[in-house]
Amino acid sequence: MTLDELADWDGPVRDEPADFDVVESVTRYRGYVWDVQTDHVTIGDQTVQRDFVAHTGAVAVIALDDQDRVYLLRQYRHPVGMYLFEPPAGLIDVAGEDPLLTAQRELAEEAGLEAQTWNVLVDFFTSPGGSSETIRIYLARDLSVLDGGRIQTGEAEEIDLPAQWVPLADAVALVMSADIANPTAAFGVLAASVAKRADWSTLRPPHAPWPARDYLLEHGRVRTDVAPRH
């Protein structure tokens, strides 16, 4: 068999919805922010059980200044027990809110910044083998500092979020050396570098369609009734 013979898909190379029948769905655990759900799904001639985290979804913001520096903050992430460098980000936890507004609020709350120019940079699933979480990363440019600076809204590990402006090329190197491994940082930094090399031609408008999230919402795979924001 040749290498070419291993390529046996002749359709388009893009992610597409599937039409497998979910015959039963059970919430095994209901958490503060997300649930653990078991679906009984028929695939071919088999009905199998598949567990996954029903997630709210999230947004992140690559804030790029006029010197092509990225704003990265340092935050403790308890599941991995580490401080991680990452861009401003947050859950989509206000029912029906435009994700762009969520991103703008997170940039104000976590960085004390506002931006005049917004674009969609990249969309991705964080762990599609076990979670429905999908993230949209925006590129924010033409930045200015809010009067009074950062809006303090978080608790515990979100109270103190020290940050650094990192040149984009240096941020790429930090991702490639595994010094930065947060997925929003890695996806966002690498996508911003690619977009810059393409003279920003790959950017999408800030209200570009988000078909993956629309599909998840339509099929009940997103946790939408989260607790009120603190």
User: CATH number for the domain including 149?
Assistant: 3.90.79.10
What does the pLDDT average to over 53-82? 95
Q: Where does the pLDDT of residue 93 fall: very low under 50, low under 70, confident under 90, or very high at 90 and above? A: confident
Both 40 and 64 in one domain: the answer is: no
Instruction: Tell me if 88 is assigned to some domain.
Output: yes
CA–CA separation, 78 vs 93, rounded Å? 20
Do 44 and 145 fall into the same domain? no
Q: In this structure, are 150 and 102 located in the same domain?
A: yes
Structural domain containing residue 189: 58-211
Q: Is the pLDDT of residue 229 over 60?
A: no
pLDDT at 152: 66
- For the chain, the average pLDDT equals 91
pLDDT bracket for residue 32 (50, 70, 90): confident
Q: Over 70: is that where the pLDDT of 155 sits? A: no
Tokens 């078909």 map to which residue? Answer: 211
pLDDT at 225 over 90: no
* pLDDT of res. 163: 94
Q: How far apart are CA 60 and CA 138, in angstroms?
A: 6
In a domain, 221, yes or no: no
Nearest to 172 by CA among 62, 60, 59, 61: 62
**79, part of any domain:** yes
Q: Does residue 40 carry a pLDDT above 80?
A: yes
| 112 within domain boundaries | yes
Residues 64, 128: one domain?
yes
Four-CA torsion 89, 90, 94, 100, nearest 10 degrees: 10
Positions marked active-site: 158
* In a shared domain, residues 21 and 62: no
Weakest-pLDDT range from 139-148, 159-168, 195-204, 207-216: 159-168
- CB atoms under 10 Å from CB of 100, counted, come to 17
Flag whether 16 is in a domain: yes
Q: Is the pLDDT of residue 132 over 90?
A: yes
To the nearest 10°, report the CA torsion of 123, 126, 132, 137.
-30
- Rounded average pLDDT over 192-213: 97
Assigned token pair, 71: 């704003």
47 and 160 both lie in a single domain: no
**Domains held by the chain: number:** 2
Give 230's pLDDT tier (boundaries 50, 70, 90): very low
Residue 151's pLDDT is 66
What pLDDT shows up at residue 95? 77
**139 and 196, same structural domain?**
yes
* Shared-domain flag, residues 182 and 92: yes
| Structure-token pair, residue 163 | 């940050």
Q: Is 224 contained in some domain?
A: no
Same domain, 140 and 39: no
pLDDT at 227 over 70: no
Mean pLDDT of the region 136-158: 80
Q: Which of 14-18, 104-108, 146-150 has the highest mean pLDDT?
A: 104-108
188 in any annotated domain: yes
Q: Rounded to an integer, what is the distance from CA 129 to the centroid of its chain?
A: 16
pLDDT at residue 157 tops 60: no
Residues 93 and 46 in one domain: no
Query: Do residues 15 and 103 share a domain?
Result: no
Same domain, 91 and 172: yes
